């Protein structure tokens, strides 16, 4: 039986073609041509979120054609967040190629992200009121998550000195930053299959938990990298601080001085905190993976498809880790 990685590989050509057609139509209306950086943003990934739409739809007996436009909308929203994130974070490269904002300019890149967000809402609203609401709510929540993330070192230093970083800020960030889009992908898959509201809600929670586990896996890679190298810079410690506060203890005295430097060696105390965070985050990731399967237990009648839904969360993390 094929796993989620193979399922993604099967979905990807279909989704890439549908995304290309959608972008061509969008840019015809804008009287501009998409450049290669933009195409790479939307076509360069594994289409994990779009594939989840298809998988949930298929597991509930839906018509594959109903999933494709919803998958496209999810991938467009994901791509727009990447365009915005690269500019906000001042990242100049995406998947080894120039970030869209470095080629199109900051103004056009930000406005393009806005156009794509709005277009995804319009596309889904044309399908149904529930589809439109699902996507618009997801975009609103994603924006709230990005707004809360303390990526500026000097700003975070002020919060730490005032002991104003909530212990569970990390949970809110990973829910809004990553969990929500995985959640709406699974919700749209259930909508495509014509599922009842309680089933749609269960699959939304299933997706959120997968997305949160996915973000924990991402942050774990960063923590392991810094533990291995023994050094960290101000920007990295700012990005990881919510995770360290949540899982490694609130080490204000150790973290704050690093926020004013360029690159620093990890102190013994901070190394221990990173190692503690690593172990606790691995446990938390496993817990969320288990909970995701419990959310949809008994909702998939076909045994083969039930196995795929059950295995997909862990397969997805394995894909991320290159297993």
**SS3 letters across 235-267:** HHHHHHHHHHHHHCCCCHHHHHHHHHCCEEECC
- Residue ranges of the alpha helices (H) in 44-128? 48-59, 64-88, 100-104, 106-127
Confidence of residue 322 (pLDDT cuts 50, 70, 90): confident
Contact 40, 97 (CB under 8 A): yes
Residue 89 to residues 27, 99, 124, 175: CA-CA distances in angstroms? Answer: 26, 11, 29, 19
Q: Which helix (H) or strand (E) holds 97?
A: strand 97-98
Q: What is the pLDDT of residue 273?
A: 87
Average pLDDT over every residue of 247-267: 73
Which has more confidence, 285 or 153?
Answer: 285
Q: What is the pLDDT of residue 242?
A: 85
**2 has a pLDDT exceeding 70:** yes
Nearest Cα to 287, choosing from 251, 317, 259, 243? 317
* Angstrom distance (rounded) from CA 27 to CA 314: 37
Which has more confidence, 318 or 1?
Answer: 318
**153 has a pLDDT exceeding 80:** no
Confidence of residue 263 (pLDDT cuts 50, 70, 90): confident
Contact 62, 194 (CB under 8 A): yes
Instruction: List pLDDT tens digits, range 23-33.
Output: 888 877 666 66
Provide the 3-class DSSP secondary structure of residue 31: coil
**182 has a pLDDT exceeding 90:** yes
* Angstrom distance (rounded) from CA 219 to CA 243: 8
Indicate if the alpha-carbon torsion angle 25, 30, 31, 34 is positive or negative.
negative
What is the reported pTM? 0.92
Average pLDDT over every residue of 232-239: 82
List % helix, strand, coil for the chain (3-state, nearest 5). 80, 5, 20
């Amino acid at each position: 039986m094929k796993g989620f990685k193979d399922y993604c590989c099967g979905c990807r050509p279909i989704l890439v073609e549908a995304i290309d057609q959608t972008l061509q139509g969008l840019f015809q209306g804008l009287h501009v041509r998409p450049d290669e950086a933009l195409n790479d943003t939307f076509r360069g990934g594994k289409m994990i979120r779009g594939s989840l739409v298809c998988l949930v739809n298929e597991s509930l007996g839906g018509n594959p054609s109903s999933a494709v436009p919803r998958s496209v909308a999810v991938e467009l929203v994901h791509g727009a967040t990447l365009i915005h994130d690269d500019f906000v974070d001042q990242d100049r490269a995406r998947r080894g190629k120039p970030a869209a904002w470095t080629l199109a300019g900051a103004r056009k890149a930000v406005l393009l992200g806005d156009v794509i967000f709005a277009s995804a809402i319009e596309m889904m609203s044309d399908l149904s009121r529930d589809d439109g609401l699902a996507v618009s709510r997801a975009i609103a929540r994603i924006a709230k998550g990005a707004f809360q993330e303390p990526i500026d070192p000097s700003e975070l230093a002020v919060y730490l000195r005032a002991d104003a970083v909530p212990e569970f800020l990390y949970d809110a960030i990973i829910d809004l930053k990553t969990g929500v889009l995985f959640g709406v992908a699974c919700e749209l898959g259930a909508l495509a299959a014509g599922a009842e509201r309680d089933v749609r809600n269960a699959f939304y929670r299933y997706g959120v938990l997968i997305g949160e586990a996915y973000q924990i896996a991402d942050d774990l890679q960063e923590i392991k990298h810094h533990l291995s190298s023994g050094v960290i810079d101000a920007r990295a410690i700012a990005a990881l601080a919510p995770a360290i506060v949540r899982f490694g203890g609130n080490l204000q005295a150790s973290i704050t001085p690093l926020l004013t430097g360029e690159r620093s060696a990890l102190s013994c105390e901070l190394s221990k905190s990173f190692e503690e965070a690593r172990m606790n985050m691995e446990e938390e990731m496993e817990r969320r993976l288990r909970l995701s399967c419990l959310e949809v237990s008994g909702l998939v009648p076909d045994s083969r498809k039930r196995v795929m839904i059950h295995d997909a969360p862990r397969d997805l993390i394995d894909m991320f880790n290159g297993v």
